Amino acid sequence: MQLVPKILLAAGAAMLTTLAQAQPAQSALPVIPLTAGMYAIQAELAASPEARERGLMYRRSMPANAGMLFVFDERAGHCFWMKNTNLPLSIAFLADDGSIVNIEDMAPQTEDNHCPRAAVRYALEMNKGWFAQKGIKPGAKIGGLPQPRQPQ
């Protein structure tokens, strides 16, 4: 009779291991608070080349007021695509003062380029439609952006 619980435990452990391997771990990036008017955002900070390259790839969900802030060292035409990204997203390209330059909706699993209309240092990805649902448009400001690193 003792054998049955041990077999069940072993089978359960094997199933958990398989599930863990099938779904990549969530990010361990720092989270910073941002604001968009009266709305609070909890944004994962993707400031390293590795973090920016991975972005939100392989995620299956994201909380309603969560997002990912991409921070680049230099202002440029940083374009984004959705290869290996399962979530439909909206991206806001941000000027240094936090003003939204433009917002693009991005379909999952595509390689279409989504680019800013001006050179930017920041981009904020949210669940698709988040900006539109909140009435946030180009020209609105995102508060709480980290200060850019100064060249040495």
* Domains of the chain, CATH where assigned: 26-143 (2.60.120.1140)
Structure-block tokens of residue 64: 């309603």
pLDDT below 50 — which residues of the chain?
1-25
- Residue 150's pLDDT is 61
SS3 content of the chain, % helix, strand, coil (to 5): 20, 35, 45
Per the CB < 8 A criterion, the answer to whether 125 and 85 are in contact is: no
- Residue 152's pLDDT is 52
Question: Cα–Cα distances in Å, from 62 out to 15, 65, 96, 118, 121?
Answer: 24, 8, 26, 28, 23
- Residue 27's pLDDT is 55
Question: Cα–Cα distances in Å, from 55 out to 1, 45, 50, 124?
Answer: 49, 9, 9, 11
Cα distance between residue 137 and residue 88, in whole Å = 18
Cα distance between residue 4 and residue 23, in whole Å = 29
What global pTM score does this model have?
0.81
- Residue 151's pLDDT is 57
pLDDT in tens, 36-66: 999 999 999 999 999 999 999 999 999 999 9
Secondary structure of residue 101 in the 3-state scheme: strand
- Residue 47's pLDDT is 96
